[in-house]
Structure 1
Amino acid sequence: MEKEMIVSSTGKTVEVALLEDGKLVEIHRQRSTDQFTVGDVFLGNVKRVTAPLNAAFVDIGHKKDAFLHYTDLGPKVRSLQKWYTTTASGKNPTDQLGKFRMEKEIVKTGKIDEVFKKRQVVLTQVLKEPISTKGPRLSCEITIPGRYLVITPFSETVAVSKKISTSEERKRLLVLVESIRPANFGVIVRTAAEGKGTAELFEEIELLMAKWKTIYEAAKTAKAPAKLLSEADKTTGLLRDLFTPDFSKIVVDDKELFETVREYVAGISKKKDIVQLHKSNRPVFDAHGITKQIKSSFGKTATMSSGAYIVIEHTEAMHTIDVNSGNKMPSQNQQEAVLKINLESAAEVARQLRLRDIGGIIVVDFIDMRDADHRKQLVSAMRKHMKNDRAQHTVLPLSKFGLMQITRQRVRPEVKITTAEKCPTCAGTGKVNATILLTDDIERDLNFIMEARPKAKLKLKVHPFIAAYLKRGMPSLQMKWYMKHYRWLQIQADNDFPITTYKFYDGADEEIKL
């Protein structure tokens, strides 16, 4: 399988597209203002302890309190809290845990109020990003991941990935890592460590221990809520988790990011030449056909090469996917034709789950098949296609009604891209408002914002025609507003805006609601 990664950096947003054999399978978007990424380590304040949920709600700086369930505390949570307390009070002279006295483990069936109290300061890690109306989900089992290894403080366990091909190699890595791991640090050996020697793994442990030291130094002075350690940015994080020798191309359109990615790839592989800088004036996603794939993949319906298509619906409780044969079903050997369409649909369903990052319960209604062997083939094919999915998932056999149930881990918000296009003038209403008073409306709102936010940097987004009108002449309306308020208003043209629409944004590029 040939893999490619295309990275588009546009101002404060970085978009990463992952392709397998030319097909878009994952798309990730990260804004520079994102503050709560999976893997970030925070110091938080316990806002309330809820016995019926056996959970605590923790303030880590998000507008919604983060959720910390008892099952996510980890057996060593008392040792973690003791370490933080002694570090913050200056009684812990080193980040090493060799001489640290561990506390008694908590039991699996315990209660949250036996561990945490209201207003207590806790050391936590983001387990799931904020989704919809929910705040982040937290864990007290701190893990620091690298390319080959993951270290877990306050543990003595060494675990080796079951995906490593031979038992001899797993045993070799187990013995090797056991000999080089720091005291009171557990280690998880990742699949990418297969075939690696002592020097490479020891170097990685040193890098991960340096991150642990960053947490230690920050914990000495930080006041909750505070971030103690940031996870790698989206691009290098994906490279760390996904990069394999079968990557054929990594294309980046930002020179600074290109150097970062090239340096990272050179550090873990001899294939640094696969990292390319996109130099064309044409957007990188357009040049590699990703924009076209996004528009064809994110609608309610996804059509396959055979003419068959799937329909994806979303409800509060679950996601449903219906498989349809289209109008090209052959009249002869219908059972074989149905199997072929279902197998093709299984591959597309697996791709769509990854691409949209759909989590929770998914029910797939395949075309009915009477042959038991065909049903087994379909389940086997679906599990095979889902193997490349990094999210934890379970694929159940077909029910007697021909439905397949899939559960998939939800870690980040579902990717939703609107592919429908409205009329830029009437926004699909069939009515156009009079534009004669538009500048008066803009000036009225501007006066209000100038008074309400006397120091904020302001930006106005409008249709290109309106932008040209506001900047035209000497003095222009833009200059008149500057002379009136002694603050410069940046005016930005946006082709996607209807001609009568305008929006104000602050210095963080957040829309100012009026």
Structure 2
Amino acid sequence: MSRVISSRWMLLERTLSERIIITKAPLKEGWGQEFFLAAAFDEKRMTQIQVEAVSKSSILGNIYIGRVENIATNIQAAFVNIAKGVSCFLPLEEAKNAVFTKKNGKKDLCIGDELLVEVTREKQKNKPASVSANLNFSGKYLILTTGNHLLGISKKLHATERERLQALLKDQITDTFGIVVRTAAKDASDEEILKELEMLTKQCHACLQGAMHRTAFTRLREAPPFYLQFLKNRNLTEVQKITTDISSVHEVLLQHLQDTKDAEKLHLYTDTQVSLFALYSLTHELERALHRQVWLPSGAYLVIDPTEALTVIDVNSGKNIKKKAREELVFSVNVEAAHEIARQLILRNISGICIIDFIDMKEKEHREELMHILRMDLKKDKVPATLVDITRLGLVELTRKKVQKSLKEQLQGDVSDEK
């Protein structure tokens, strides 16, 4: 059962565990639109946030019957319409295991073919949304995928857990789907995992079978609300509380978490004197997440400048560094900056190419250690991020997969969407 709480009780019970809140932002100057948000907090500050406009829900994760409009072999991609006038980018690599409802010709993919596609990346600026013919059905512990017929187990799991899950699921693979085991499965019993597998299998079969009787542009599955996906991407064993002040959201979450121990973490916030938005100082947190300058505990700071092509991050010491012990102090500041940069990538949802200008270091060992630290921090990111190299000028290059719009675009709107 969930509990109803007040702001005064919450203020007394802040712990070191992660807290998640889901609320609606009041209409305010500076925000381009009214929006819902889901945010995660550790003991010190906000660590991640996702927003969705009240007037415009995301199509990310939706499954449609699309129609192939054009094939561009020079870029190894096709353009697929999921609605009249709505064209999406489909890499040919992502169409190898396509499920067709209508097939024209003998080639793997032909103009006019109708196939099932899932939206994998939102429309961003002048780039269309991306889709894949590899359909995913996600749960807390497992992901079923039509993209292959293999069993994949999270590398973050201990060897004994991997062996247990391998033995449990190796005979469950079918000609229809493969299975990916998520990190959260380490805390689940065999019974819980098999129960979720049965549920996801029903969802998968219902979608595939239902498609055979539908026409092009039909939406076969609407992705779960963004806040449910937000929860699925987190390890709930590390979450102490999930709080919302929206009754309808509370009901959805209660249904989603029923029969799990995580249901006890769900709370409905009802205090009318202090809003949940105000209690967590979200106006301040959002403004700080959009600010160009980010201060570090040492007095150093980052300057983050997103451009059309890439994001540039400059590390500044914030003070004159004396020659004596300069190398150690610079290394210390750069390490501090590396941790914060990894956090800011997630918080601001920065994607694409990033160039980082760390403070110059002379010692090769320090440069290598800094790259190791940054690489380890990037591995914690749920969105694939890759540390590429250090240029001859000493600039660090990294890339982060584009899935959703940046926080700035989500909050202030994307001008290109209105054209």
TM-score range, shorter chain: 0.7 to 0.9
- Is residue 320 from structure 1 mapped to residue 318 from structure 2 by the alignment? no
- Does the Cα contact within 8 Å between 1:308 and 1:325 map onto a contact in 2? yes
In 1: Cα distance, 2:140 partner to 2:102 partner: 31
Which residue, 322, 345, 369 being the options, matches 2:337?
A: 345
- Is residue 58 from structure 1 mapped to residue 86 from structure 2 by the alignment? no
Match of 1:485 in 2: none
- Is residue 9 from structure 1 mapped to residue 24 from structure 2 by the alignment? yes
In the TM superposition, residue 20 of structure 1 has moved relative to its aligned partner by 3.1
- Is residue 125 from structure 1 mapped to residue 118 from structure 2 by the alignment? yes
Higher relative contact order (CA 8 A, sep 6+): 2
In 2: Cα distance, 1:210 partner to 1:418 partner: 34
- Is residue 334 from structure 1 mapped to residue 326 from structure 2 by the alignment? yes
Which residue, 377, 383, 390 being the options, matches 2:375?
A: 383
Matches within 5 A, 1:138-149: 138-149=131-142
User: C-alpha deviations, 1:108-143, integer Å up to 9, x for none?
Assistant: xxxx99322222222111121111122211111122
User: C-alpha deviations, 1:324-377, integer Å up to 9, x for none?
Assistant: 111375675222221221111112211111111111111100111112222223
Task: Describe the SS at the equivalent of 1:416.
Answer: helix
Task: Describe the SS at the equivalent of 1:60.
Answer: strand
- Is residue 22 from structure 1 mapped to residue 68 from structure 2 by the alignment? no
In 1: Cα distance, 2:113 partner to 2:336 partner: 53
In 2: Cα distance, 1:3 partner to 1:386 partner: 20
- Is residue 208 from structure 1 mapped to residue 230 from structure 2 by the alignment? no
Pair 417,63 (structure 1): closer, same or farther in 2 beyond 3 Å: same
In the TM superposition, residue 183 of structure 1 has moved relative to its aligned partner by 5.2
Task: Describe the SS at the equivalent of 2:204.
Answer: helix
- Does the Cα contact within 8 Å between 2:52 and 2:410 map onto a contact in 1? no
Larger-Rg structure: 1
Pair 55,398 (structure 1): closer, same or farther in 2 beyond 3 Å: closer
Q: Flag as ranges the 4+ runs of structure 1 deviating above 6 A.
A: 417-420
User: C-alpha deviations, 1:455-510, integer Å up to 9, x for none?
Assistant: xxxxxxxxxxxxxxxxxxxxxxxxxxxxxxxxxxxxxxxxxxxxxxxxxxxxxxx9
Gaps of 5+ in 2: 1-15, 27-33
In 1: Cα distance, 2:146 partner to 2:367 partner: 46
- Is residue 160 from structure 1 mapped to residue 182 from structure 2 by the alignment? no
Task: Describe the SS at the equivalent of 1:17.
Answer: strand
In 2: Cα distance, 1:297 partner to 1:187 partner: 36
What RMSD in Å do the two structures reach over aligned CA positions?
Answer: 2.9
Task: Describe the SS at the equivalent of 1:341.
Answer: helix
Task: Describe the SS at the equivalent of 1:65.
Answer: strand
Gaps of 5+ in 1: 87-111, 421-509
In the TM superposition, residue 417 of structure 1 has moved relative to its aligned partner by 6.5
User: C-alpha deviations, 1:199-236, integer Å up to 9, x for none?
Assistant: 21221112112212331354143221121011211111
Give the TM-score taking structure 1 as reference length.
0.70
Q: Which amino acid aligns with 1:258?
A: H
- Does the Cα contact within 8 Å between 2:66 and 2:114 map onto a contact in 1? yes
- Is residue 304 from structure 1 mapped to residue 296 from structure 2 by the alignment? yes
In the TM superposition, residue 401 of structure 1 has moved relative to its aligned partner by 2.8
In 2: Cα distance, 1:154 partner to 1:191 partner: 20
Match of 1:279 in 2: 270
In 2: Cα distance, 1:173 partner to 1:150 partner: 14
Q: Which amino acid aligns with 2:20?
A: M
Match of 1:477 in 2: none
In 1: Cα distance, 2:65 partner to 2:358 partner: 47
- Does the Cα contact within 8 Å between 1:214 and 1:229 map onto a contact in 2? no
- Does the Cα contact within 8 Å between 2:25 and 2:277 map onto a contact in 1? no
Corresponding residue pairs, total: 391
Give the TM-score taking structure 2 as reference length.
0.84
In 2: Cα distance, 1:159 partner to 1:176 partner: 13
In 2: Cα distance, 1:414 partner to 1:61 partner: 25
